């Protein structure tokens, strides 16, 4: 089915969009609740959990609508990956019409939770709160152009305490195929799936929480992809022109030594030490895009280095990469570091522009949560958590299509969906009946 996002009314385009995605659900009985759920996510409202959406979408039969939507999101066995594939098939061509896919962005997002019974909940770092707290964390992969980005994979991180507890797993319906994985391992699996699906390639961007993981960076390179990976200041590298010592000379007995070596006075250095040793002329002021109030500008330097992680356990040198460093003039020391496998001929402004494109994922999460209720799901199970996230991404995909096809008035038109009035007798569950 093909349709133009710029033709007809906003409601008509939304109906056609949902109809196309419904073909990925596998059963005709799921089409109506799918349409209702997506509509509920798109309509204005403070909460995008099941009951408030049922009240907004079908105010005359809230109980029945609630039951239908709950079953669809928490129980029905449709495939999240298939639906997300249908979303990207509809949305990516529209984004690419305005410019090529430039990046794949790896990141995660935290969703605060008060209770301890929802799947994957643990005391862990929550970016939304900026501290350790009770929350769920999900890892995502987004594809981005200069104009927009779309999440193409989204998976809950299951802490070890959850992954290794049969009782918790059974209550939350965690599939037997899901075992404990670190967040970088989840991200690498998502990247492998994206390559296998033939998604348009881009430079893989990640913050230091992922970029410091050597196995992830090596895995991305093994997929034939380049990266710009945030790293911490204490990561070790070999400075320009310095490499590990060759293997020890063979004594003629046993196997010839193969491992690279270090020695006192011949060791790698930290990224921070290298950055602070650079000459003043190594630093250049770069502007990478227009901010809300002013151009975004800072000082940067870039040098060719070789990552040194456990290279004394290797027989071959690691390839040379870029070490990109940001040191704003008003700071006492450098603030950010990246390793990048972009070509050696890449100019500094292009390195900076690519590294800074990761900001788009923050906009994704902001809109998915504030506009579409990504973090509003109140169920406790694995299937419902992922179904709700998939449906939020599907609704977000429609917004992206509208903005790409009919800017700048698209935002207003996508909000032309209006909820019916609630009956005066409606009371949410748990509320106090009026006199």
Same domain for 263 and 153, yes or no, is no
List the structure tokens of 176: 């037997």
d(CA 263, CA 261): 7
**Which residue from 395, 391, 377 is spatially nearest to 78, judged by alpha carbons?**
391
Highest-confidence range of 41-45, 173-177, 248-252, 314-318, by mean pLDDT? 173-177
**Average pLDDT estimate for 122-141:** 91
In a shared domain, residues 45 and 194? yes
For residue 429, pLDDT beyond 90: no
* pLDDT at res. 313: 85
Mean pLDDT throughout 290-315? 90
Give the pLDDT of residue 7.
56
Do 313 and 405 lie in one domain? The reply is no
Please tell me whether residues 342 and 374 are part of one structural domain: no
Q: Are 110 and 141 in contact (CB under 8 A)?
A: no
SS3 track for 24-51: CCCCHHHHHHHHHHHHHHHCCCCCCCHH
175 in the same domain as 161: yes
Whether 405 shows a pLDDT value over 80: the answer reads no
> Do 165 and 273 belong to one domain?
no
CA distance 106 to 144: 11
Same domain, 187 and 294: no
- Residues 30, 14 share a domain: yes
Looking at the 3D structure of the chain, how many domains does it have? 2
Are 162 and 252 in a shared domain? Answer: no
Q: Do 37 and 143 fall within a single domain?
A: yes
Please report whether residue 435 resides in a domain.
no
Give the CA distances from residue 203 to residues 262, 287, 308, 371, 384, in Å, rounded to whole numbers and listed in that order. 32, 20, 22, 28, 32
Measuring CA to CA, which residue among 426, 423, 401, 428 is closest to residue 413? 401
Answer yes or no: is 66 within a domain. yes
For residues 262 and 395, membership in a common domain is answered with: no
Domain membership of residue 3 (yes or no) is no
* 1 assigned to some structural domain: no
What pLDDT does 431 receive?
42
**Considering the domain boundaries, does residue 63 fall inside one?**
yes
Q: Please report, for the chain, how many H helices and E strands are present, in that order.
A: 15, 12
pLDDT per residue over 336-371, tens digit each? 999 999 999 999 999 999 999 998 888 889 999 999
Per the structure, the complete domain to which residue 405 belongs is given by: 10-207+361-414
Using DSSP, state whether 70 is helix, strand or coil: helix
Confidence of residue 430 (pLDDT cuts 50, 70, 90): very low
pTM: 0.89
Residue 10's nearest CA partner among 403, 413, 420 is: 413
Residues 6 or more apart in contact with residue 407 via CB below 8 angstroms: none
Query: Cα-flanking dihedrals φ and ψ of residue 37, to 5°?
Result: -65, -45
């Amino acid at each position: 089915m093909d349709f133009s996002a710029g033709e007809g009314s906003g409601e008509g385009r939304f109906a056609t969009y949902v109809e196309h995605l419904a073909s990925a659900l596998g059963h005709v009985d799921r089409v109506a609740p799918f349409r209702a759920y997506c509509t509920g996510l798109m309509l204005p409202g403070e909460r995008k959990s099941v009951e408030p959406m049922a009240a907004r979408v079908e105010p005359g039969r809230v109980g029945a609508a609630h039951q239908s939507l709950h079953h669809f999101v928490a129980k029905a066995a449709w495939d999240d990956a298939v639906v997300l594939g249908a979303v990207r098939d509809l949305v990516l061509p529209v984004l690419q019409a305005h410019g090529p896919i430039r990046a794949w962005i790896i990141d995660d997002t935290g969703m605060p939770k008060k209770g301890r019974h929802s799947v994957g909940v643990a005391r862990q770092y929550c970016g939304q709160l900026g501290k350790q707290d009770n929350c769920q964390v999900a890892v995502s992969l987004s594809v981005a152009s200069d104009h927009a980005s779309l999440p193409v994979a989204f998976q809950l991180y299951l802490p070890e305490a959850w992954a290794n507890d049969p009782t918790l797993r059974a209550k939350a319906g965690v599939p037997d195929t899901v075992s404990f994985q670190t967040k970088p391992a989840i991200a690498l699996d998502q990247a492998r799936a994206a390559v296998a699906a033939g998604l348009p390639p881009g430079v893989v961007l990640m913050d230091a929480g992922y970029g410091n993981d050597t196995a992830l960076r090596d895995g991305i390179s093994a997929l034939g992809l380049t990266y710009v990976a945030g790293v911490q200041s204490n990561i070790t590298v070999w400075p320009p022109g310095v490499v590990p010592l060759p293997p020890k000379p063979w004594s003629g007995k046993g196997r010839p030594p193969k491992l690279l070596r270090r020695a006192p006075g011949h060791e790698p250095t930290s990224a921070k030490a290298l950055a602070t040793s650079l000459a003043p002329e190594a630093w250049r002021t770069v502007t990478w895009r227009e901010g809300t109030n002013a151009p975004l500008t800072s000082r940067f330097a870039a040098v060719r280095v070789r990552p040194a992680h456990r290279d004394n356990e290797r027989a071959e040198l690691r390839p040379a990469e870029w070490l990109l460093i940001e040191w704003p003039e008003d700071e006492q020391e450098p603030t950010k570091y990246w390793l990048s496998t972009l070509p050696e001929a890449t100019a500094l402004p292009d390195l900076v522009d690519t590294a800074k494109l990761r900001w788009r994922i923050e906009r994704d999460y902001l809109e998915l949560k504030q506009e579409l209720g990504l973090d509003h799901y109140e169920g406790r199970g694995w299937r419902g958590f992922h179904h709700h996230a998939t449906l939020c991404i599907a609704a977000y995909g429609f917004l992206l299509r509208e903005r790409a096809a009919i800017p700048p008035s698209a935002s207003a038109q996508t909000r032309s969906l209006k909820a019916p009035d609630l009956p005066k007798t409606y009371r949410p569950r748990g509320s106090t009946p009026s006199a």
